[in-house]
């Protein structure tokens, strides 16, 4: 049996389409099965996702970092340190003069002065974004000062950067007010600072900021921005201190929704801070309202397209008093 050349069949179809005057429509045949959750899964592996500095998304002037719409933290795997230096997992270690000092390197949860400084110096390090809940990292180290770096078999503990903790972001011109995570201030004494650095937990940080991050993402997605012409374009944007203000407001409300009174202390990512007058840069207490994701979605017509994850919706519905 003779099989006709498939190209010829295709040419006949093209001729038929053209003879009927039907325009060619280009379809995109790549169907992606929820790419966000794939990225989320990848970010939660020990290896995270390796990127260049420009791939890191900055939310609200760098106060939060994300990759393809997923909240994450960032670090540089090559530590330029020795294995012995890194592996005790303690924050403090004796320096050359014998004094106890804080161990480097650090991880970052904001686009802080350190990250900006490295980018300015054009250091082409590999940055890794991830969502590791236990503060342990895959790192590269050297055997001694003269050898080349290799990846360590065991994960080592890294600690949060102090610029990130004190809110010293690179985009200071937009920083309405410098505000530290859980009240962290650079003027604190060394002991108090060490305690804050040592007790920082990435899992809790992500959980506390997830709701705020999603709110900002949603607002940005529906926002109608004039194109690069209006100098007031940024006037109604979320401020860089909003993530911490939002965290405090929700903490002070004992993580309870002010409308339906559901207790979200075990599901913090489902509790949001809403701006009553719609102005995202007015963070006065009277303009802020603590709402669970479902009450937030129902507050007015601007919010009704807001996506609420099924596990959060189920939790709210089950736990509403
Ligand atoms: Zn930092
Ligand atoms: Zn509610
Ligand atoms: Zn809102």
Q: Look at residue 228 and tell me whether its pLDDT is greater than 60.
A: no
pLDDT over 70 percentage in the chain: 84
**Alpha carbon distance 170, 116 (integer Å):** 6
Per-residue confidence at 2, pLDDT binned at 50, 70, 90?
A: low
Q: Look at residue 24 and tell me whether its pLDDT is greater than 70.
A: no
Q: Please give the model's pTM, rounded to 2 decimal places.
A: 0.83
70-96 tens-digit pLDDT:
999 999 999 989 988 998 889 998 888
Q: Look at residue 320 and tell me whether its pLDDT is greater than 90.
A: yes
**Alpha carbon distance 291, 282 (integer Å):** 17
| Between residues 34 and 137, the one the model is more confident about | 137
How many angstroms is it from 309 CA to the middle of ligand 2? 15
pLDDT of residue 229: 43
Query: What mean pLDDT is reported for the chain?
Result: 86
Q: Look at residue 252 and tell me whether its pLDDT is greater than 90.
A: yes
Per-residue confidence at 172, pLDDT binned at 50, 70, 90?
A: low
How many angstroms is it from 219 CA to the middle of ligand 3? 8
How many angstroms is it from 296 CA to the middle of ligand 3? 6
| Element spanning 111, H or E | none
Q: Which ligand is nearest to the CA of 222?
A: 3
Residue 133 has φ and ψ, to the nearest 5°, of -85, -5
91-149 tens-digit pLDDT:
998 888 888 888 889 999 999 999 998 888 877 678 999 999 889 999 999 988 788 88
Name which of 18-32, 171-185, 268-282, 296-310 the model is least confident about: 18-32
Q: Which ligand is nearest to the CA of 300?
A: 3
Beta bridge partners of 70: 67
| Between residues 10 and 237, the one the model is more confident about | 237
How many angstroms is it from 217 CA to the middle of ligand 1? 22
Measured at the CA of 223, the angle between CA 315 and CA 178, to 5 degrees, comes to 80
Name which of 7-16, 99-108, 221-230, 298-307 the model is least confident about: 221-230
pLDDT of residue 174: 53
How many angstroms is it from 59 CA to the middle of ligand 1? 14
Strands 106-107 and 127-130: unpaired
pLDDT over 90 percentage in the chain: 60
258-283 tens-digit pLDDT:
999 999 999 999 999 999 998 898 99
How many angstroms is it from 134 CA to the middle of ligand 1? 18
Residue 275 has φ and ψ, to the nearest 5°, of -90, 115
Per-residue confidence at 232, pLDDT binned at 50, 70, 90?
A: very low
Neighbours of ion ligand 1 (CB under 5 A): 108, 112, 114, 161, 163-164
pLDDT of residue 134: 87
How many angstroms is it from 305 CA to the middle of ligand 1? 34
pLDDT of residue 153: 92
The CA distances from residue 180 to 21, 163, 173, 211, 215, in Å, are 64, 9, 17, 19, 21
Q: Check: CB of residue 160 under 8 Å from CB of residue 197.
A: yes
What's the half-sphere exposure (Cβ side, CA atoms, 13 Å) at 49? 22
pLDDT of residue 201: 96
Q: Which ligand is nearest to the CA of 56?
A: 1
**Alpha carbon distance 321, 317 (integer Å):** 9
pLDDT of residue 18: 73
Q: DSSP readout, 100-139?
A: EEE---EEBSS-BHHHHHHHHTT--PPEEEE--TTSEE--
Average pLDDT over residues 3-17: 63
pLDDT of residue 145: 77
Average pLDDT over residues 28-50: 75
The token duo for 208 is 């506390």
**Alpha carbon distance 63, 1 (integer Å):** 68
């Amino acid at each position: 049996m003779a099989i006709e050349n498939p190209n010829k069949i295709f040419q006949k179809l093209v001729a038929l389409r053209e003879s009927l005057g039907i325009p060619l429509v280009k379809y995109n045949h790549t169907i992606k099965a929820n790419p966000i959750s794939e990225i989320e899964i990848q970010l939660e592996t020990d290896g995270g996702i390796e990127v260049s500095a420009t791939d890191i998304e900055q939310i609200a002037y760098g106060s939060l970092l994300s990759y393809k719409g997923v909240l994450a933290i960032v670090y540089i795997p090559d530590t330029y340190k020795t294995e012995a230096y890194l592996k005790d997992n303690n924050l403090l270690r004796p320096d050359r003069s014998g004094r106890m000092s804080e161990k480097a390197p650090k991880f970052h949860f904001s686009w802080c002065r350190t990250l900006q400084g490295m980018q300015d110096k054009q250091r082409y390090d590999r940055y890794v974004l991830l969502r590791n809940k236990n503060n342990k990292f895959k790192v590269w180290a050297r055997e001694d000062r003269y050898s080349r770096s290799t990846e360590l078999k065991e994960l080592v503990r890294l600690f949060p950067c102090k610029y990130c903790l004190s809110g010293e972001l690179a985009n200071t011109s937009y920083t309405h007010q410098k505000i530290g995570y859980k009240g962290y201030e650079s003027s604190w004494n060394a002991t108090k600072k060490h305690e804050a650095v040592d007790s920082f937990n990435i899992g809790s940080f992500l959980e506390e900021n997830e709701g705020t991050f999603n709110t900002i993402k949603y607002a940005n997605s529906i926002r109608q921005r004039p194109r690069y012409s209006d100098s007031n374009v940024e006037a109604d944007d979320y401020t860089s201190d909003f993530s911490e203000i939002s965290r405090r407001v929700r903490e002070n409300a004992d993580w309870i929704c002010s409308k339906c009174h559901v207790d979200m202390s075990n599901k913090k990512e489902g509790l949001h801070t809403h701006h009553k007058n719609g102005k995202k840069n007015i963070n006065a207490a009277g303009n802020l309202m603590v709402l669970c994701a479902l009450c937030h979605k129902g507050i007015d017509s601007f919010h009704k397209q807001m996506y609420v994850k099924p596990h959060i919706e189920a939790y709210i519905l089950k736990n509403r008093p």
